[in-house]
Structure 1
């Protein structure tokens, strides 16, 4: 009886409370009437909110009587605010039709703080490649769209190869920009290089790409050094339907793609995607020097191909939470540029498995990545191996066979181990947990990340002949924000502690202040980033012990110690402004100052016959590298410190509602102390500009026009890159110059330098264009042209001159399920 009495009291209390409060409900759609699932709804005065369900519906319960403003936002759409009055026991409605972003200042982004934010509130410079930009670009390689962004160093190394760098320190082996796709690291396990074309995601499944300029290591961890490139794919609840696409272009380019997304119920939705692309690289063969004689690359295959497919399953356990499962696969054949020559990539496969949980308060993410290749090889080394045999009387058949693993030494009459084959059977396990909450104007983010790299080269290019190499990294981060809505001041403090098995612990702080005005926002930011040595840097064993990684340090015969590699660090101070200069003109401008140190040096010999390496760490050299005498060891070490600075300017002008103009300009400078021997990368007693991997133009700009009206669209962009020198390993692209000041030119244009040929500086002027038409039945015909004027520019080392490339694409979009639902209704 007592329990029944208590239950009645609780029920009455609940009924009375429900009568004293009300609720807000509504539906969120786009301007075409399509429901938007996953839109964020916030009752501003209560700091309380939810997200919309698959049909765009939302409900915020237990709202006290009063007047409120409700803000509704969704990535890619302009946020909207409505005022509502809530009465006791009643329901107030706030229905909204969101408009696709036309003004960049109204856009919603997620990269900077790992949660939706209005672009003007973000304390960082972010470029956005939107869904419409991607859909209207006919090429399957959307990396080309990065060339239209401010502050981005974009290069093309061939028909397939495109690369992105941010704020200097580029190389042919660049891992300083962290690439992320749907909260997964998109990088190779052993080398740390971005996946790029190895990605398992297809063009038609990408919703947007956000490019954050500057370090953001606090939330993202190691290698968010110069920036973060975040690709976000489409949720099937907001992209239901089927897409078929076929494309073709010069250089034998052919592509076929398929994507299908379907909402099965309130709880379940899924998507699948597939792509097969192929083509032939430009007719370019690099020189491999055998002594003083240049030879063509052995058995060069210029044909490239990629196959990608994947599937995602989406489950909503509640109206404001979601569980996502994903599997993706890619298989790749192409030519890859490195700082030691070029590689012939053969059937390099990537597999990704992911499951994550998303809710307003909690985020949990786990994924597993596999990398596998059996037949990839270093073209340069294999060519040298081949000629060492064929030039000494061996048959063609035997020379080709032994070129993968051995080099003949005629003076000794023996073959030595100089393996050129790269096998890979590496795996990576990642996990992350994040908690978010807010109290009034205070916002807290806490998180932890775990990464276990399990590298396995099967003894071909790592010190793993006795099994794979396992390295664990962990990170703990926190971020605290205070937002004052009345004064419009926002303050942010964040910190991250990282721990790596080999290089130890690193702390990364971040601080930012923003102040919003009627027409824009000013920001002041301080942030740190680190670029960690890759497993290849730490545990490499290339070409039969010629190159050894420096994960433990070395000891020479005379007792001298060579310290193990540490992380490269960068500290950045930045000020910026985003806002409107008029109703038609918007501006995004920043200025920054970087302090960088502990670069990873070029490969350099640390030993000699008189003073060989005796130990790697605490183990004898002969144990680590069987047969090695330690008399010639190439490795890496840390050196140098340099200050860099620059600014980026972006202007967008709406000439008419259908025609817009874009202007982007970037400046980059540096301050190198040539009297500081810490900057002597090769330890020859002379500090040279070439030893620091700056490799970026001082000035660059692009200007563009974008037109969209009715069913027709078109864009044209002109891009100018000031000529600049590029030094990376054996690769050189530079003007004629005297490097060491002895009165003799060390680098000469159109002449050999070391083991490569110098064709001169990179950069130049080019024009790109695209256009298309959307037919009424869901059919789209598009065309894109890269280097429209056929300018004879070489954009990267060990690469051909980039000629005009054109691509045609025919795409068909249909939603069978929408038609069936309409017929039923």
Structure 2
């Protein structure tokens, strides 16, 4: 798909818009909306024609006027934050249409679209759905709508940067979650090449978010491959319905209590303007800018990692099966030969930051010992004192072709800097993304085309630290100087600090001219380009990949009454462009290379029918099936069957769902720079580019056993790591649930599910000897790789959760939720045989966090088993004053992460969030004072990630002025 073709598409759409047929004779509907309690007019209430893309809002006097050519009778719908939804049937346009809205503390029975791609009641959705709307955003103590997601049951946000958080649901938490799909106005939010969702880095402005819906669990039947663990659908505000000028000024502070560093201020400014011009045309523009200081990754404790000698506590009487964690960190580099700080770089014990002395070293105390050199902190390497920025902008045009059909063209822009954590920490100093969308839609169809174009350049923080260290002094020389400064007395190590001081004499200090010269040189040079003066390549990479997506859907509701039938299809094209820094290129001969492309297509159909069994009993079964094909893999079907039984206000749901996931372009094709560690894709192209076909790698446990002389060289070579055929990852999920809304006072939502994964894709840690000789392992002359492959194991995730909202009275409401999930595994070898633990017991459906299981290899479940939160709120303690307080608790979590992270039990953590809001009607504004983690108890949501402290803010939001 070429850019010329894309331009032709937009020109064609523009021609259709400009030549649309004229309108029929219109009528005018007008009236007033008042508060039932005070009889005062309500400004800013949204008025829409039910089932149509037509709407307006009340002015400052609570009046509205709406033109339409739809035949009477019709239904008008009035919605307003904090008030109950009201519908009025209009039969005569000559009479005023008046609404009286009642304030309600609980608005649970809302309309959602994500569950089945058609509008339906939240309580009657056939699968679990979570929704956040303007009311929740306004009342949440979270600083942003995106941050409010962490108050939903079962949702884990892994915070990597102030502006970059990854959404995780139902286990297998990841800093770059490519099993969970994020859509913004129907567009995939993920990076085309790297494959992870950017969330609020390149999302839409906070002021323009109309709602966020989340479907936990397999969603491929309607949304295609990759929606393995769920979908998040963010919808922006329609300018026909939300008009006027809105602005928000937010100032705050974070990094409080950090000695010598904090506190640090931040500002967040946003503006939105939307206007309807005439009967057919409307537009909107948005801009938001955040400037501040990131949360800092400053965990300097000695790194806990399974590659450490004697990491597990073992029971010798049972075959040395693991019973727990034996590693005891020594976080003092002056007494620890192998000190490796979690967020200190260039000192990695398992990559190029360490040296192993030979077994015949003259100093017997150092013979065979591993020593790590002195590293640099993250702030040292970044050199920006943690400064972070984020810009989001959007401009969209809306045109009504007819009363029912609407055409839109939109431009969405995101720009910022952030840190992401994969196998390594990587810094993106100036990420840019453009998305352009054209769409024609109605209540029964849509046709959509969009493209994602990005400029994503970054560099590896750890490799940059290694480069600076080695530019000053090669590790061989540094280790020789360390040995010279080291002394032994009575066989007891001492004077490690003296040895380090001697070896570090003349070291490039952070911020010095030499330090900055080398850093700028390596971070400004591509990782596949040599730097002769340093004898190595640079550390910079780029993902300037692009993606084009085309899809359409049609609802046959106007053609048949037998069932509600929808059908759709999509086509997607990836154009990878990394210049050989992330992905291999096709060798065309004669020195010519070409980037890889990826094509995917799919189609789906869904049928549902609501059957009335009795006066208060209905049954709505739904079946759906989808077929998808990626050019590198076999195609597959993903069926789904579900049903909802409604007995009065009680709704019982059950579903069986299936999904599969194509490996992301990164998991398929990634390759590390020559001579450096990193992630390797599972395709033959990636293996060849990494040299694994001629210089194979070995699993870390096997290589370590060889170094410890517990296996021979021949035994090691018999265990060479040879992954099998790379294929798609698959899941099947059974789920039942219950929802009810009783007297608009009590809302309950409960669910129970079981998921089974096969062909699970994971990155296995392996060592590749530098010279191709396994003897390199004895001298630390290897590179650490993470090789993507499909493991042979069966994985089971069992979970349940419950949420409740209860109106206490006088505006007060209490809400809370609890979610639990447990990951179990059956380990199998390549022949399908069950693997035994070291005590000789079969590993069948056992917890992945069990030391006896974890000892045999990483499984990456990375999810707390339990979490809950409780919220007490009242949006109107007085007519002007409101508040909300939220307590969140998350269980301890077994983490297995990356090459330069590690394996550890992260402790449980809790936070207290709160906000107080005050309405200023004279200027149509809300003043909000709030904070998340107001007790400032620092915690990390992943190993090696930024430690999150209190975030305190004051915001003033001017809403829909100049209407």
What is the TM-score of this pair, normalised by structure 2?
0.70
1 CA distance for matches of 2:67 and 2:859?
56
The equivalent residue for 2:801 is 648
Question: Larger deviation: 482-491 or 162-171?
Answer: 482-491
> Are 1:36 and 1:56, in contact at CA under 8 Å, matched by a contact in 2?
no
Cα-to-partner distance string for 1:240-272 (whole Å, 9 max, x where unaligned): 110122111112211111110111111001110
The reply to whether residue 659 of structure 1 matches residue 828 of structure 2 is no
2 CA distance for matches of 1:320 and 1:459?
48
1 CA distance for matches of 2:946 and 2:44?
47
The equivalent residue for 2:543 is 424
The equivalent residue for 1:330 is 414
> Are 1:28 and 1:57, in contact at CA under 8 Å, matched by a contact in 2?
no
> Are 1:386 and 1:407, in contact at CA under 8 Å, matched by a contact in 2?
no
Q: Secondary structure in 1 aligned to 2:470?
A: helix
Q: CA, structure 1 residues 141+377, in 2 after alignment: closer, same or farther (shift >3 Å)?
A: farther
- Report the RMSD for the aligned CA atoms in angstroms: 3.7
The equivalent residue for 2:565 is 444
> Are 1:792 and 1:801, in contact at CA under 8 Å, matched by a contact in 2?
yes
Q: Secondary structure in 1 aligned to 2:763?
A: coil
2 CA distance for matches of 1:37 and 1:268?
17
> Are 1:136 and 1:782, in contact at CA under 8 Å, matched by a contact in 2?
no
> Are 1:556 and 1:611, in contact at CA under 8 Å, matched by a contact in 2?
no
1 CA distance for matches of 2:745 and 2:138?
25
> Are 2:526 and 2:581, in contact at CA under 8 Å, matched by a contact in 1?
no
> Are 1:712 and 1:773, in contact at CA under 8 Å, matched by a contact in 2?
yes
The equivalent residue for 2:18 is none
558, 568, 575: which is aligned to 2:729? 568
10, 25, 50: which is aligned to 1:40? 50
Cα-to-partner distance string for 1:140-159 (whole Å, 9 max, x where unaligned): 63222012111212333454
> Are 2:576 and 2:595, in contact at CA under 8 Å, matched by a contact in 1?
yes
Q: Secondary structure in 2 aligned to 1:403?
A: helix
1 CA distance for matches of 2:31 and 2:833?
58
> Are 2:189 and 2:203, in contact at CA under 8 Å, matched by a contact in 1?
no
Q: Secondary structure in 2 aligned to 1:225?
A: coil
The equivalent residue for 1:299 is 381
2 CA distance for matches of 1:98 and 1:492?
37
Question: Larger deviation: 575-584 or 200-209?
Answer: 575-584
1:531 deviates by: 2.8
1:61 deviates by: 4.4
2 CA distance for matches of 1:123 and 1:326?
32
Cα-to-partner distance string for 1:4-54 (whole Å, 9 max, x where unaligned): xxxxxxxxxxxxxxxxxxx9997798663767465424xxxxxxxx55455
897, 900, 920: which is aligned to 1:728? 897
Cα-to-partner distance string for 1:396-430 (whole Å, 9 max, x where unaligned): 5664355345999xxxx996655421223211111
Question: Larger deviation: 718-727 or 140-149?
Answer: 140-149
1 CA distance for matches of 2:834 and 2:585?
32
2 CA distance for matches of 1:679 and 1:653?
51
770, 773, 776: which is aligned to 2:921? 776
1 CA distance for matches of 2:114 and 2:934?
33
Q: CA, structure 1 residues 493+194, in 2 after alignment: closer, same or farther (shift >3 Å)?
A: same
The equivalent residue for 2:740 is 579
2 CA distance for matches of 1:722 and 1:638?
29
The equivalent residue for 2:178 is 175
The equivalent residue for 2:619 is 489
Unaligned runs of 5+ in 1: 1-22, 42-49, 64-68, 614-629, 736-759, 818-825
2 CA distance for matches of 1:156 and 1:314?
35
1:588 deviates by: 0.3
Q: CA, structure 1 residues 463+117, in 2 after alignment: closer, same or farther (shift >3 Å)?
A: same
Cα-to-partner distance string for 1:717-755 (whole Å, 9 max, x where unaligned): 0011111111121255755xxxxxxxxxxxxxxxxxxxx
Q: CA, structure 1 residues 657+308, in 2 after alignment: closer, same or farther (shift >3 Å)?
A: same
1 CA distance for matches of 2:86 and 2:219?
29
2 CA distance for matches of 1:563 and 1:295?
38
764, 769, 788: which is aligned to 1:636? 788
1 CA distance for matches of 2:834 and 2:667?
19
Q: CA, structure 1 residues 441+92, in 2 after alignment: closer, same or farther (shift >3 Å)?
A: farther
The reply to whether residue 713 of structure 1 matches residue 875 of structure 2 is no
1 CA distance for matches of 2:31 and 2:861?
48
The reply to whether residue 270 of structure 1 matches residue 296 of structure 2 is no
The equivalent residue for 1:700 is 867
The reply to whether residue 549 of structure 1 matches residue 681 of structure 2 is yes
1:551 deviates by: 2.2
The reply to whether residue 673 of structure 1 matches residue 826 of structure 2 is yes
1 CA distance for matches of 2:397 and 2:602?
29
- Superposed, 1:729-768 pairs within 5 Å as 729-730=898-899, 732=901, 735=904, 760-768=905-913
Q: Secondary structure in 2 aligned to 1:601?
A: strand
1:284 deviates by: 3.6
The equivalent residue for 1:348 is 431
Q: Secondary structure in 1 aligned to 2:610?
A: strand
> Are 2:746 and 2:805, in contact at CA under 8 Å, matched by a contact in 1?
yes
The equivalent residue for 1:231 is 234
Question: Larger deviation: 429-438 or 159-168?
Answer: 159-168
The equivalent residue for 1:815 is 961
217, 220, 224: which is aligned to 2:220? 217
The reply to whether residue 513 of structure 1 matches residue 513 of structure 2 is no
What is the TM-score of this pair, normalised by structure 1?
0.81
Q: Secondary structure in 2 aligned to 1:134?
A: helix
> Are 1:441 and 1:484, in contact at CA under 8 Å, matched by a contact in 2?
no
340, 344, 347: which is aligned to 1:287? 344
Q: CA, structure 1 residues 148+609, in 2 after alignment: closer, same or farther (shift >3 Å)?
A: closer
Cα-to-partner distance string for 1:254-297 (whole Å, 9 max, x where unaligned): 11111101111110011101111111123444112211235124
> Are 2:137 and 2:144, in contact at CA under 8 Å, matched by a contact in 1?
no
2 CA distance for matches of 1:406 and 1:363?
43
1:181 deviates by: 0.7
2 CA distance for matches of 1:28 and 1:217?
44
- Superposed, 1:778-817 pairs within 5 Å as 778-817=924-963
Unaligned runs of 5+ in 2: 1-25, 35-41, 57-64, 254-263, 299-342, 348-352, 355-371, 478-507, 509-513, 587-592, 697-719, 775-781, 844-851
2 CA distance for matches of 1:504 and 1:414?
47
Q: CA, structure 1 residues 172+369, in 2 after alignment: closer, same or farther (shift >3 Å)?
A: same
Q: CA, structure 1 residues 299+462, in 2 after alignment: closer, same or farther (shift >3 Å)?
A: same
* Highest RCO, 1 vs 2 (Cα 8 Å, sep ≥ 6): 2
> Are 1:138 and 1:809, in contact at CA under 8 Å, matched by a contact in 2?
no
The equivalent residue for 1:357 is 440
The equivalent residue for 2:666 is 536
2 CA distance for matches of 1:541 and 1:425?
16
> Are 2:166 and 2:197, in contact at CA under 8 Å, matched by a contact in 1?
no
- Superposed, 1:369-388 pairs within 5 Å as 369-374=452-457, 376-388=458-470
1 CA distance for matches of 2:833 and 2:953?
46
The equivalent residue for 1:110 is 113
> Are 2:139 and 2:875, in contact at CA under 8 Å, matched by a contact in 1?
no
> Are 1:587 and 1:649, in contact at CA under 8 Å, matched by a contact in 2?
yes
Q: Pick the structure with more strand per residue.
A: 1
Q: CA, structure 1 residues 476+78, in 2 after alignment: closer, same or farther (shift >3 Å)?
A: farther
Q: Secondary structure in 1 aligned to 2:114?
A: coil
